[in-house]
A = this chain, B = another copy of it.
Amino acid sequence: MLAAMSLRIALLGLLEAVGPASGYDLAKKFEHSLNHVWQAGHTQIYPELLKMAADGLVAIESEGARGRKIYAITPEGTRELHTWLVEHPPTVTVRNEVALQAFLLPLLARDEAIAVVERIRDGFAARSVALQCYTEGGVGSYAAKLGLSQVSAGLAWAEETLAELRR
């Protein structure tokens, strides 16, 4: 068992939370409700599901139309998921282009800096709208509330910084 394997955990969590699903379904979840939590495309998801099946964490429940494969979590998968959730101290790996631009803001002329912060602000605003949908109940509402509060904080920072730069 390796250190990270968060993609595995995300997949196991989705299967546990919403029931059996295909790789395609799971990829859709990553695009939408999981978008502000963990990102992964189908090219990463399909091979990972195959590996997880080989490791006994998921099982192919059925194969439907158009080659659609439905995966279900196994008891072993549930165990692994539960262990990770309870025991794994989450690692904070920040790799944030927005923060990087904020960091380097002093290197820019005033007008340029203002334009950059405006773009950042608009990005936060868009994400804020996108997150609203998920805060009301359902799986992921805790994460959506966390995301929304952090995005709102970012939005407030952008407004403050703009005011400061314009002074």
Contacts and interface: CB of A to CB of B under 8 A. Distances in A.
B92 A97 contact: yes
A139 interface: yes
Interface in A134-148: 139-140, 142-143, 145-147
A43 interface: no
A143 B125 CA distance: 18
B37 A94 contact: yes
Q: List 5 A-B pairs, minimum CB-CB distance, nearest first.
A: A90-B97, A103-B143, A153-B153, A149-B153, A102-B143
A107 B16 CA distance: 8
A62 interface: no
A105 B90 CA distance: 13
Interface stretch (A20-28, A48-56, A113-121): A113-121
Interface string A26-43: 000000001111110000
Contacts of A17: 104, 106-107
Contacts of A74: none
